[in-house]
Amino acid sequence: MSQGKKRSYKEAFLQWGFTKFVDKSVEKPQCVLCNKVLTTESMKPSKLKEHFERSHSQFAEKDIAFFKRKEDALKNARMDSSGYFFQSTEAGLEASCALAETEPNIKEIVRKKQYQPSH
């Protein structure tokens, strides 16, 4: 709808190791190699490529299947509480609370990683 204006994730970004991370319904690029979440403004090939070439040039030879596996592993790690939803509704309610509590922890980890000096 608003193509061109709003930056949104494209499958092609995975070639630089980036998947989509949704934070308060805002899409952000997340590196599947170091779990770093970049800003929405960085959701463009030049920025993603820059991060990849600077931090992960050793993976330059890897094919898309490698990044796909990394992406799946990352998503599984994010969703590790979702198994509880198969239980009763009450348990499911508890699980969604637990999930809500888990979320900030993930962000906290990511934030700490971002604060590490890169050079």
Examine residue 55 and tell whether it contacts Zn ion (CB under 5 A). yes
Tokens linked to 17: 């190791």
Examine residue 74 and tell whether it contacts Zn ion (CB under 5 A). no
Which amino acid appears at position 39 of this protein? Answer: T
Integer angstrom CA distances of residue 49 from 17, 80, 98: 9, 29, 35
Task: Give the number of other CB atoms < 10 A from CB of residue 41.
Answer: 10
Residue 110 CB, nearest approach to Zn ion (Å): 11
- 3 vs 116, beta carbon nearer Zn ion: 116
- 33 vs 43, beta carbon nearer Zn ion: 33
- 39 vs 87, beta carbon nearer Zn ion: 39
